[in-house]
Structure 1
Amino acid sequence: MAMLAWNVRGLGNKDTVRALKNFMFKFDSGIIFLSETKQKMRYLEKIRMKMKYDNAHYVEPIGIAEGLLLWWKNDVKVSILHSGKNIIDCELSVNGEKEWFCSFIYGPPYEDEKQVFWESLSTIRNSTQAKWCIVGDSNIVARAEDKMGGVPFEPSQAKWFFDFLNKSCMIELPIQGGMFTWSNQRSDDDVIVEKLDRILSSLEWSETFPRALGVLDVAMASDHAPILLLLQGMPRRCKKDFKFESKWLLEDECFQEVEKGWAPIPQVNSSRIFGRKLKKTRSKLIKWSRDKFGKRRRSAEEITERIKLLQENPLIRRTTNEVKELKVELNKIWESEERHWHQRARVDWLKYGDRNTKFFHAITLQNRRANTGYL
């Protein structure tokens, strides 16, 4: 199960909502925590229902600033213990397993509030005996290597953070995918990048989830990158079964590939010819389909990887402008894909603005089964 935590810097932008949907689908996140939503509950509830999350808890913004939300699905049991402008503290369990504690945080950005926040966090529970993890934006640069550019790191800024770690016996989980989680998104000599978003845990929690891992995704539509907490580590990739897709029959090239695969095979025992031809035809169709239909997805993945590479090397000249251009291109690909599935699904009762590619995909598959007699 995956938990997504992201400082969205406002959820009123359609690009932010689209990015959230893509992050959510990547690892099938059972829990989503967003900070700095800057939106009222009524608006956020519309997005939640479109994304098919069953439950929610909100901390309303103060004016047009701050705001937290927590969404979760029914296979996750969540009991909210305490919430405020900087924290949603809860007890939860996944698939009926034993409960544990999780605090989703948005650390105060102002220096005069940091001491009170971290000291109050240390009094929530005795973490030497509790299964407890903390996820979110700490708003703390903890070490010199956690920052590049701008004013030099000052160790005193992290005093309250390390006091909390020592007092509560918490450790920091590794996060794969990059060193920095925030950028001021400027170019050349003005760029500043920092590691602000973290995953902390008690020793008891770490022993319960020994494979737990943090993953940093590409920063889209916000100056923060989202972090994913994977409780069971990276999922193993399984080899997919071969399935003949009906859309192939619409392409003349499909029949050409079948003819190539079914061509005579010299010097093969007659009892094995049928199996060898099936295998050869399958390989031809897989390669042809990947080249013809997989181009859009490969392009999106290549652009995503390029953005991640640039964000990991923020001091390269012209990095910021190139990242902006790549984000625009990636958004166009996502929108094109949404239109593609919307048209094929033939759903008249949803407007185009209700972009949910996964939902439209499911409807398309259902229609295909009905048309071919599988339902």
Structure 2
Amino acid sequence: MAIVAWNARGLGNPNNTRALKDTIFKHDPCIVFLSETKKNQKYLERIKSRNKFVGSFYVNPRGIAGGLALWWKESVSISILRESLNFIDTLVSVNGEEAWQCTFVYGPPYISEKHEFWTNFQYLRHHQSVKWCVIGDVNIVADQNDKEGGAPIKKNQAKWFLDSMDASGLFELPIKGGTFTWSNLRGEKDAIAEKLDKILISCEWSLAYPKAIGILEAAVASDHNPIILLLDGLKKKRKRAFKLESRWILEEECYTMLNEAWEGNLRCRGQLKLNRKLKTTRVKLKQWSGVKYGKNRQTIEGIKQKLLNLQ
């Protein structure tokens, strides 16, 4: 099971929705949490449906700022406990198992609101014995090592956050793939990078999911990297299903190749012969497409990995 949390910085841009779709395809998450959607429920429902999620909950933006979206699939049952402009607090049950508390957070970006929010955050814990996980953009740099460039961190803000985590019984789950989750997207001299997005867990939650890890995706269409929580650890990559691309049928050589593949002499009959013809045709199409167009998805993933390494 995977959970995706991403500060999308607005989902009105096609690049953002495309980047979201790619992340969902790659990790097949059961839950997606989006902050700074900057869009209303009606608009977001269309994107949710296209990505095949069945459940949803929204906190509408304040004007054109903020906005939260939570989507989940049929294998997950989610009960909403409470919500605000800065969090959605839930009880999550996966495949009918015992429920645990998950708080999807978007920490206040305004200094005037940070102290009150993090001081009161500890009281969100549903019950001391309940497994608790917090994921999202906390909007505070907790340690000087979590920042590169710019002015030193605000130590008073870091203290508010760390005191709240201590009082809540939460500790940070390491995220693999990079040190920082946000950058100001400027050149070397003016570049600033910070770790603003985190996964926080209680001891009880950690014992229930001992293989859980966090990983980072490349920041493609936002100044934040998506963070992925894998409850069962890393798994083998899914084998992509074969799909016919419509542009292939515009090429005359495609029909020649198809005829050669289909008319091949096979020493078998009936259903077995049909199955082998289909397999041969599929293999030939994939080989021909690789030569004609290159392996686009592999190329894109390779570029994203280089981008993540640079980030």
Separation of aligned partners in 1, 2:59 and 2:126: 25
Paired residue for 2:142? Answer: 142
- Partner AA of 1:216 in structure 2: L
How many percent of aligned residue pairs carry the same amino acid?
Answer: 49
Paired residue for 1:111? Answer: 111
Q: Which has the larger radius of gyration?
A: 1
Q: Deviations over 1:264-313 (max 9, x none)?
A: xxxxxxxxxxxxxxxxx9xx9787776566522222122111211221xx
Paired residue for 2:41? Answer: 41
RMSD across aligned C-alpha pairs, in angstroms? 3.0
Unaligned runs of 5+ in 2: 265-279
Distance 1:72 1:239, change over 3 A: closer
- CA displacement at 1:154 relative to structure 2: 3.7
Paired residue for 1:11? Answer: 11
- Partner AA of 1:45 in structure 2: E
Separation of aligned partners in 2, 1:13 and 1:129: 42
Separation of aligned partners in 2, 1:132 and 1:119: 18
User: Is 2:206 the partner of 1:206?
Assistant: yes
- CA displacement at 1:169 relative to structure 2: 1.5
Paired residue for 1:58? Answer: 58
Paired residue for 2:305? Answer: 305
- CA displacement at 1:43 relative to structure 2: 1.1
Separation of aligned partners in 2, 1:68 and 1:98: 26
Contact 1:127–1:169 at 8 Å: present in 2 too? no
- Partner AA of 1:6 in structure 2: W
- CA displacement at 1:249 relative to structure 2: 7.8
Question: Helix, strand or coil: the match of 2:33?
Answer: strand
Distance 1:132 1:163, change over 3 A: same
- Partner AA of 1:131 in structure 2: K
Distance 1:296 1:237, change over 3 A: closer
Once the two structures are superposed, the pairs formed by residues 44-193 of structure 1 within 5 Å of their partners are 44-125=44-125, 128-193=128-193
Contact 1:126–1:168 at 8 Å: present in 2 too? no
- Partner AA of 1:212 in structure 2: A
- CA displacement at 1:217 relative to structure 2: 0.2
Separation of aligned partners in 1, 2:257 and 2:9: 48
Q: Deviations over 1:219-260 (max 9, x none)?
A: 02111111011110111348899x9x9x9984659969xx9x
Separation of aligned partners in 2, 1:252 and 1:45: 42
Contact 1:127–1:168 at 8 Å: present in 2 too? no
Paired residue for 1:295? Answer: 295
Contact 1:127–1:202 at 8 Å: present in 2 too? no
Question: Helix, strand or coil: the match of 1:123?
Answer: helix
Separation of aligned partners in 2, 1:240 and 1:59: 34
Separation of aligned partners in 1, 2:183 and 2:230: 24
Q: Deviations over 1:317-336 (max 9, x none)?
A: xxxxxxxxxxxxxxxxxxxx
- Partner AA of 1:115 in structure 2: H
Separation of aligned partners in 2, 1:303 and 1:40: 33
Once the two structures are superposed, the pairs formed by residues 226-237 of structure 1 within 5 Å of their partners are 226-237=226-237
Distance 1:192 1:127, change over 3 A: farther
- CA displacement at 1:181 relative to structure 2: 0.4
Q: Deviations over 1:54-97 (max 9, x none)?
A: 11101011111111110111110000000110000000111111
Question: Helix, strand or coil: the match of 1:4?
Answer: strand
- CA displacement at 1:156 relative to structure 2: 2.5
Separation of aligned partners in 2, 1:52 and 1:238: 18
Contact 2:138–2:197 at 8 Å: present in 1 too? yes
TM-score of the superposed pair, with normalisation by structure 1: 0.70
- Which sits farther off after the overlay, 230-239 or 65-74? 230-239
Distance 1:192 1:236, change over 3 A: same
Separation of aligned partners in 1, 2:240 and 2:192: 43
**How many pairs were matched up?**
288
Contact 2:101–2:126 at 8 Å: present in 1 too? no
Q: Which has the higher helix share?
A: 1
Separation of aligned partners in 2, 1:232 and 1:121: 27
Contact 1:8–1:224 at 8 Å: present in 2 too? yes
Question: Helix, strand or coil: the match of 1:26?
Answer: helix
Paired residue for 1:361? Answer: none
Unaligned runs of 5+ in 1: 260-280, 312-375
- Partner AA of 2:16 in structure 1: T
- Partner AA of 2:86 in structure 1: N
Runs of 4+ in 1 over 3 A off after TM superposition: 237-241, 247-256, 284-294
